[in-house]
Amino acid sequence: MFKKIALAAALVSSAAFATWDYYPVLEGGKGSVKGNLYYNWDHDWSNAGLGIGVRYSVISNLEISLQDWGYQFWGEWDCSGCVNGGSGLRDLTIGARYQFDPMFSGFVDLVLPVGNDDVDYNGISHTTPPSSEEIALYLGGQFSMPIKEAPGLKFGTEAGLFWGFEHDNSERGLELHMGGEIAYTVPNTEITPLFGLQLKFRLTESTWEDNGVEVGGDDDGDHQIIIWLGCGIYVIPKQLEVTGKLFVRSGDHDNMGGDATGLYVGAEFYF
């Protein structure tokens, strides 16, 4: 039973996994660093924290990054008798993207479980710590382009497979992720409204061992949809961008991230 609780809690905490963005890599010799605050909630459950990341194009068309690291302030249910906690360091993602041509790129992200994975629980609730406890790979491809007929309009899309390796006799089912974002920079301004959508679909069921017997989660076919609206503003043109986003996600059960609404506020500095 504890394995099932821990697996579900880890998946709730890691539900927003994605690459750096859906757009082309930076030019060779250029990079950026970003930080953000996030807050997610659903009924009595919530989590909040700080995320940081850095990316750099070491040569033309090849970008490497460190993503999603930071600190979670809490991840818990708020009710009489509920256990409190879920704070600690977050997992770290090491990523690489290669731009094959102006519109197509490939990517691979490696998730390292360096964060806090302690789950506190009682008969009423459990905490959702920031670590998934698993080493995982996310790899796939991206397509993006500006719309010549509408200056300032661009879109990016992505499709990939997320594979979480077995850990503590538990293994997440293989997932297919597909997503896209469209953004429009208002003429003669530094303001860019945006809209995005991501679909996650579980291809194989999650499994864990219970008293030496392998148990299946019967969650193959489960899915999650994430929609976001946001706006970016360059407070220093081409150098410092501040972005705010509102996320809404709907998923089958906690083991696909569950339902939640989220707020994100971040800043990215280009160098």
Segment 6-43, tens digit of pLDDT: 445 444 544 455 699 999 999 999 999 999 999 999 99
Rounded to whole angstroms, the Cα distance separating 268 from 53 reads: 9
The pLDDT value given to residue 1: 47
Integer Cα distance of 184 and 151 in angstroms: 8
Residues 216/206, Cβ–Cβ less than 8 Å = yes
Alpha carbons 83 and 89: distance in angstroms, whole number: 19
Residue position matching structure tokens 């709907």:
250
Percentage of the chain modeled with pLDDT above 70 = 92
What is this structure's pTM? 0.90
pLDDT-derived band at 136 (thresholds 50, 70, 90) equals very high
Reading the block at residue 72, the tokens are: 């979670």
Q: All domains of the chain, ordered by start, with CATH?
A: 2-270 (2.40.160.40)
CA dist 66 and 17 (Å) reads 13
H-assigned helices in 93-195:
none
HSE-up (13 A, CA, CB side) for residue 148: 0
Q: What is the pLDDT of residues 179-238, one digit of tens each?
A: 999 999 999 999 999 999 999 999 999 888 888 788 887 888 889 999 999 999 999 999
